[in-house]
Amino acid sequence: QPCWSEYLTTRIEQNMVVNCTCPISECRAQPTTAFICSIVSSEEIIAKYEKALLRGYVECCSNLTWCTNPQGCDQILLKDGLGYGAACSKCSWISCFNCNFPEAHYPASCSHMSHMTCAKCNHGFCWRCLKPWRPTHKDYYNCSAMVSKAAWQEKRFQDYNERCTFHHHAREFAMSLRNRVSSIGSMPKIRTLTFVLDACKVLEQARKVLAYSCVYSYYNQDTESMDIVEQQTESLELHTNAL
């Protein structure tokens, strides 16, 4: 029993317990949950084992996924039942189930979210393959005759990227402001600040839409339709700044 306990504890701590087999090389038998719980006495180790089982179950179910909130959330989401615009019931984060981008990015499509730039070092890379975004990368100008156009496109990208980054920072400010207002509202003798909290939530959503509108506009160059989009975006930005 001590050997089994040490073996199973090690496998659990190394996140290798799912589908583990008997340590004897010729034996492919897998220890059952009841067996593991009867051998391992540590409640902490058992808790890790249960989490591993849950992770394995979610990964095996095509209609289940974890909330993608980068701040951390252990909520399990049902893809079929969530739908566009619905948020995690625990943290309110809105996830995208069609690509690996960590949040819903309307009005930008999933294909628009491929070209990413690190906010810290400005390294450009493809979100899908994680390779550096260079002139040799597909969907980018790689012809010598397109040098001037590539330079113009790079300048255009920088302009839209700066606007997108600004709205993301403004969204973070709105979130920070909402948290500060929430803490003030919990103090005694302070009248209700619900209307301010609602305004902060509207600010967060508006900044998010404006940020991804930059991505949408960058990848869509149909002049006739983009004139309308740009007008709507400008109007939303004007009212958002006023709010």
- The pLDDT of residue 230 is 82
Report the chain's terminal Cα–Cα distance, integer Å. Answer: 66
How much is the pLDDT for 86? Answer: 59
Q: What percent of the chain has pLDDT over 70?
A: 75
Q: In terms of domains, do 124 and 238 share one?
A: yes
What the block records as the tokens of 29 is 């038998």
**CA–CA–CA angle 158, 160, 166 (5° rounding):** 100
Indicate if 21 and 86 belong to the same structural domain: no
> Where in the sequence is the domain holding 87, given as residue range(s)?
61-104
Query: Does residue 109 belong to any structural domain of this protein?
Result: no
Q: Do 155 and 215 reside in the same domain of the chain?
A: yes
Residues 29 and 47 in one domain: yes
- Check residues 188 and 199 and name the one with the higher pLDDT: 199
Band (127; pLDDT cuts 50, 70, 90): low
Q: Compare 80 and 109 and report the one with higher pLDDT.
A: 109
Shared domain for 139 and 238, answered yes or no, is: yes
Percent of the chain exceeding pLDDT 90 equals: 10
**Mean pLDDT across the chain:** 78
3-state secondary structure of 159: helix
For range 88-102, the mean pLDDT:
78
Name which of 167, 232, 177 is nearest 199 in CA terms: 177
Number of domains, the chain: 3
Distances (CA, A) of 225 to 105, 163, 176, 187, 229: 20, 20, 35, 50, 7
Rounded to the nearest angstrom, the gap between the alpha carbon of residue 118 and the centroid of all alpha carbons in its chain is 15
pLDDT: is 162 or 142 the higher one? 162
78 and 54, same structural domain?
no
For 125, phi and psi rounded to 5 degrees? -155, 160
pLDDT attached to residue 39:
86
Is residue 178 scored above 80 in pLDDT?
yes
Residue 134 pLDDT: 60
Q: Do 124 and 81 share a domain, yes or no?
A: no
pLDDT confidence band for 145 (50 / 70 / 90): very low
Residue 10 scores a pLDDT above 90: no
* Most confident region among 35-39, 127-131, 181-185 by mean pLDDT: 35-39
Model confidence at 206: pLDDT above 90: yes
Q: Is the pLDDT of residue 82 over 50?
A: no
Specify whether 228 is located in the same domain as 156. yes
Same domain, 7 and 120: no
Which has more pLDDT, 177 or 59? 177
